[in-house]
A and B are shown apart, each in its own frame.
Chain A
C-alpha cells in the first residue's frame, strides 16, 4: 500500500511536470510581441554602461525581432569586451523581457595539465612554452580550441599520434581571469620498428644511425628526425658534397604504434667548380655559379649558371660569349667546368635613330646605349622599349621600333668589333582622344567624372592611361561608398585609327552606409577623443578614403600601439558597422640616455695676460624625460624633460673663466642643466590648434658669459597642411648673466646696466617642411621665419624686435647610393627699441656729470647680451670655436665674443654613406656676426672647410667634425694645448646633423 502511494506520488509529479512544461515558450512565440524590458547583465550584475546600451537594437515597446537580436549580439561582441553574449527571453505581462548576459573576456592566467602525464616525452613545462610562444602569456579562453590543436600537434611530434585532449576553463568572476585545464590522454607512443637504409652512405650504418639518433624501439619524433637529417646533410654540403641527400619515408603498423623507416641515402660526389678559358675573376665566377650558396649542383642550376656567365659577358659587349659547362665525375669527385669564351668585344661606333615626330632629344637621356660604349643586346632591347613607350605615350598606338645591328670591320687582332646600331621607328597613325563617354552613372555626374580623368579630348590616346582612368573612376566611387562598383572601358578607336572615343560603363552597385561606430580596447581614452578623428559619422557613405584617413588620424594621436578599423557585415546588405579596435600604449613614458659632447671653447688664460684662448673640452651629457599622455582620456599630455652636462671641476667655465694652469684637481661638476615642463592640449578650445604651456629653468655656458634663466610661455601651433605650420606665443623670462668674461670696459652699456633682465615678448613663426626625415634628411626643403617682439608696454625691461630666417634644401644625387647634397642659409636681424640707460664705469659705479647727476645715455638700441646673435661652433661655422666668429666690432680686445644684432650663415655639405651605419661628410661653412643689421657685409664673411664622420644610431647620427679656417685674421687664435693642434682647426663631437 505504501509502495502504491509512493508510485502515485511519482506519477502525480510527472503529471505536474508535464503540465508545467508547456509554459515554456518556443522562440517563435516571442517574436512580434512587444519588448517589455531590456536588461544587460555583466558578470551577474546589471549594467547601464552607455557604451553597451547604445548598441543594443532591441528597444522597449518595439516588437521583438530576431534580426535585431542578432544585430545586438554582433554589436556587443564586436566591442571586444565579451567572451560570449547570450540573450534570454521570458514572457511577462507586458510582453517579452529580454536579458543580455555578457560574459567578459577571460584571459588565461594559468594553464594546467591533468591526465597521464608521467610518460616519456611529455614535459608540461615544454607544452606550456609551446602555447605561450604561439599565443602569448594570456590567450583568451575562447582560443582553447586552437590551443588544444596546437598541443595535439606537439604531442604528435613527440610520438603520441593518438593523443586526446579535453580542454575546460575555470573562470574567475573577480579577476576576469581563467585557468585553462587540458586533460591529456596521450595514448600509446609510436616507436621505431625496422630501419632500412637504401643507398650508399659515406659513413657506416651504425654511425649514420648514431648521427640521426635512430634505433629500433626509440620513439618516432618526426620533427626531431627532420632536424637531425637537415643537420647531417648541411654538414655534408659544407664539405663540398652538394648533392648529398637523405630522404626518410615512413610506414605505420600496429595501429600506428610502430613506425617502420626507410632512409634513401644519396651521398653524392665531392663537387668542385672551375671557370677556364678566357679570364673571369674568381669572385665573379663564384657569384655567377651559386653552387655553394644553393647547396646544389643539379643540372638546372648549372644551366642557369652558364646563362648567367654569358649574360654577364654580353653586358660587357661580348655578344658571342659562351660558357658551356661540363660535368666530369670520377672516383667520387665531380668537377664542373665552365669553359668561358668571350669572343670579340663589340663597341658602338654609331647609334642612329630614324627621325620621327618626336625629337630624339626628348628621350636621348633615357637611352642606355652610348657611342663608344660596349654593345649589349639587353641594353638595346631596353632602348627599343623606351622609344616605343615614348611614342605610345604620344598616341602612336601601333608604333613599331625595329633595331638592326651592323658590325663593321674588326681591328687587326679581331678583339674589337665596332657596330652601327640603327633603330628604325615606324610611327603609324597617331590616335587622339575624341569624345569621352560615360554611362551607367547615376550618383556622380559625367562632367565630374570627366574632370578627374587624365585622358582629355584632343590629348594623345595612351591605352595604359585608359586603364588608370578606369581605376580612378572606380576609386572615386569607392570613396563615395560604392565598394562593389565595376567600371568597364572600351577604347572605341575609329576605323582609321586617328581617334579614340573611350566608353566607360559603370555598374555602381549598392552604396554602403555607416550604421554604427563601435570602439573597442579604449580603457583610458575617451570615445570622444577617437570619434573626433573620424572622417565619417553614422549615416554617411562608407568611403574608402574616409576610412583610411580616419585610421591615419587615430594612429597619429600617438596614444595607441595599434589601431585597426574593421567593417562588419550587417543584416542589411547596404550597411556596415565600423569597429575601431585600439590597443592603448602605456600612459607613462620614460626616456633617458647619456653621451659625450666635445667642442672647442674660448677661455681666458693667465699666461698671456688674460686674453682669450681656446680649449677642447669633452663633457659627459645625460638626459631624463618622463611623460604622462592621454590625461583625462583627452589626449592631453604633460612632460618633464631634464638634461645636464658635467664639466671638469678644473674647467675654466666656472667662476672667473680663467683657465687653470697648475695644481688643478680632477672630477666633474654640474655645469649646464635644463629642466622643462610642458603641458600639451591637442585641440585648443575644440579647434585644430595645439596649445602648449611650458616652464623652463636652465643654466647655459657660453663663451664669454654663462647665464641662468627661468621662464614660462604659452604657445598655439597650427598645422595648416602636412608641410606648413604656424606658431604664435607669449613668453616671460628672467635671465641673469654669470661669470662674464668680457672686460667691463669692452662691454656695451646695456650689459653693465642689466646683469639681470626680465623680458616679456610675443613671437610668431611659420615653417614649410618637406624633409623626409627631421634628424637625417635626404630630400626636401625646410623654410622658416620667426619674429619676436619684446616691449616695456607688456612688462619687458628692454624692448627689441628680432627676426630670423632659415632656408634648407636636401637632394639625393641621382644614381648614387644615397649621397646627399645639403645646403643651409640663415639670416638673423634684430634691433632694440631706443631707451635711456644710466651710464656706469667699468666697476659699475655711476658716472656723474658736472652737476653731480648720473649721466644718462639716450637712445640706446642694444639688445641684452643673451639675446644677441653669436656664431662659430658645431652648428654654425665649423672651424671656429663656440661663438668665436665675429667682426672686429663684435669681439672684445681680449678676444671674447660680444655678439651682434645681425647674423649671416651659409653651409654646404655633401653626405656620403659608406656602410649602413657609417658615413662621411665634407663641408664648407661661411658666415659672420655684425654689430647692426646695416653693417652686414658679405665681403666680411669668414669661411671654413672640413670633413666629418657620422655614425648612425636609431635616434640619429653621432657626429665628429673637423673644421679648418680658410683664412686667418688678426685676433684668430691658434690651438694652444691639444693633441689635435692642427693650426686653425676646430673639432666637435656632438649629436645630429649640423643642420
Chain B
C-alpha cells in the first residue's frame, strides 16, 4: 500500500512538473487577456465588463464579500440601467453642475493620487465627461426616487424593490453572463 502511494506521489510530481513547464512556456509567450466583452443588454443599452470594472474600481457599486462579485455588480448595473430609462421618461429635476461636481469630488477622493484616478478612468474606457454624465444620471435617479417614494422609510425600500421588479418584467433584458459568464 505504501509502495502504491509512493509511486503515485512520483507520478504526481512528474506530471505536475511537465504541465507546469508546458503552461509556463505558454504563458511566457503571448497570452491573450480578455480586455472587454458584453455582459448584458438592457433596453438596447450595453453593459460591458469594463462597466462592471469601472463601477467597482470607482466605488460606485460596492460588491459584498461573498459570491460572484461580477454577478453582483452586474445585477446592480442592470437595475440602474432600468431606472435610468424610466427616469428619462419623467424628466425629474435636473441636478445643478455644482451637485455633479460634488459627486465627482467624492469619487476622486477615493484615490490616493490624480494619476491613480486617471488610470482607473483609462482602464474603464471612460473620460471625466462620461463619468460626470453617469453621476448626473445617478443624481436624477435619486431625485426621482425621492419624488416618487416619499413615504415612510420602512416601506420605501420595499416599494422601490417592487418598482424595479416591475421594470425588470417589462424591459427586454439580455443577461449574457447568466448563460455561462
**Residues of A at under 8 Å CB distance from B?**
2-3, 5-10, 12-14, 16-17, 19-21, 23-28, 30-31, 65-67, 69-70, 73-74, 77, 83-92, 97-99, 140-146, 148-149, 167-169, 566, 569, 571, 573
Contacts and interface: CB of A to CB of B under 8 A. Distances in A.
A3 B2 CA distance: 10
Enumerate the 10 nearest inter-chain pairs by beta-carbon distance, A residue then B residue, closest first: A9-B13, A6-B13, A66-B125, A13-B20, A20-B24, A142-B174, A145-B175, A86-B37, A20-B27, A6-B9
A87 to B, nearest CB: 5
A275 to B, nearest CB: 45
B102 interface: no
A145 B180 CA distance: 12
A14 B5 CA distance: 21
Contacts of A143: 172, 174
B117 to A, nearest CB: 13
B10 A6 contact: yes
B16 A13 contact: yes
Contacts of B7: 2
Contacts of A142: 41, 174-176, 179
A12 B119 contact: no
A824 B174 CA distance: 59
B126 interface: yes
Contacts of B168: 149
Interface stretch (B62-70, B127-135, B144-152, B156-164): B127-135
Interface string B43-72: 011101010000000000000000000000
Question: Chain B, interface size: which category?
Answer: 35 or more
A67 B118 CA distance: 13
Nearest to B178: A145
Contacts of A3: 5-6, 9-10
A92 B30 contact: yes
Contacts of A99: 32
21 contacts: A2-B6, A2-B7, A6-B11, A9-B10, A16-B21, A23-B27, A24-B27, A25-B31, A28-B123, A66-B123, A69-B125, A73-B38, A74-B46, A83-B176, A90-B33, A97-B30, A145-B173, A145-B179, A149-B169, A169-B180, A573-B130
B124 interface: yes
B6 A89 contact: no
A340 B41 CA distance: 62
B106 interface: no
B82 to A, nearest CB: 13
Contact of B119 (A13, A28, A88): A28
Contacts of A70: 36, 48, 50, 125
Contact of A10 (B12, B119, B129): B12
B120 to A, nearest CB: 9
Interface in B87-132: 119, 122-127, 129-130
A27 B33 contact: yes
A139 to B, nearest CB: 10
B30 A86 contact: no
Given A10-B17, A16-B24, A20-B24, A87 B34 contact: yes
A89 B176 contact: no
Given A20-B27, A23-B28, 14 more contacts: A6-B10, A9-B16, A10-B16, A17-B20, A27-B123, A28-B119, A66-B122, A86-B34, A87-B37, A88-B33, A89-B35, A145-B175, A146-B173, A571-B130
B30 A30 contact: no
A30 B9 CA distance: 41
A592 to B, nearest CB: 38
Contacts of B174: 140, 142-143, 145-146
Nearest to B39: A84
Contacts of A92: 30
Contacts of B44: 566
Nearest to A144: B179
B34 A88 contact: yes
A69 B179 contact: no
A98 B32 CA distance: 9
A147 B178 CA distance: 12
B18 to A, nearest CB: 8
Contacts of A5: 10, 13
A809 to B, nearest CB: 46
B155 interface: no
A148 B122 CA distance: 36
A17 B16 CA distance: 10
A74 B45 CA distance: 9
The B contact surface, by secondary structure, is helix
Nearest to B51: A70
Contacts of B172: 143, 146
Nearest to A85: B38
A13 B19 contact: yes
Contact of B20 (A8, A12, A28, A140): A12
A2 B9 contact: yes
Contact of A65 (B6, B9, B125, B178): B125
Given A16-B20, A31-B122, A85 B37 contact: yes
Contacts of A89: 32-33, 35
Contacts of B119: 28
A753 B104 CA distance: 96
B169 A571 contact: no
A986 B175 CA distance: 70
Contacts of A91: 30-31
Nearest to B25: A20
Identify the interface centre among A5, A20, A84: most chain B CB within 10 Å of its CB: A20
Nearest to A89: B35
A6 B16 CA distance: 9
Contact of A84 (B33, B37, B129, B178): B37
Contacts of B129: 573
B33 A10 contact: no
Given A2-B10, A90-B33, A84 B133 contact: no
A566 B46 CA distance: 14
Contacts of A149: 168-169
B122 A7 contact: no
A10 B19 CA distance: 10
Given A25-B33, A77-B46, A90-B30, A12 B6 contact: no
A66 B36 contact: yes
A13 B17 contact: yes
Nearest to A1: B6
Contacts of B30: 90-92, 97
Contacts of B23: 16-17, 20
A502 B9 CA distance: 93
Contacts of B25: 20
A23 B25 CA distance: 10
B132 to A, nearest CB: 9
A31 B46 CA distance: 22
B162 to A, nearest CB: 15
A23 B23 CA distance: 11
A84 B119 CA distance: 27
Nearest to B28: A23
Given A84-B37, A88-B34, A89-B32, A67 B125 contact: yes
Contacts of B176: 83-84, 142
A173 B36 CA distance: 23
A743 B86 CA distance: 83
Nearest to B29: A23
A6 B119 CA distance: 45
B179 A73 contact: no
B122 A12 contact: no
A66 B169 contact: no
Contacts of A17: 20, 23-24
A168 to B, nearest CB: 7
Given A6-B10, A24-B33, A168 B123 contact: no
A392 B118 CA distance: 60
Contacts of A86: 34, 36-38
Nearest to B133: A573
A86 B181 CA distance: 12
Contacts of A13: 13, 16-17, 19-21
Contacts of A25: 31, 33
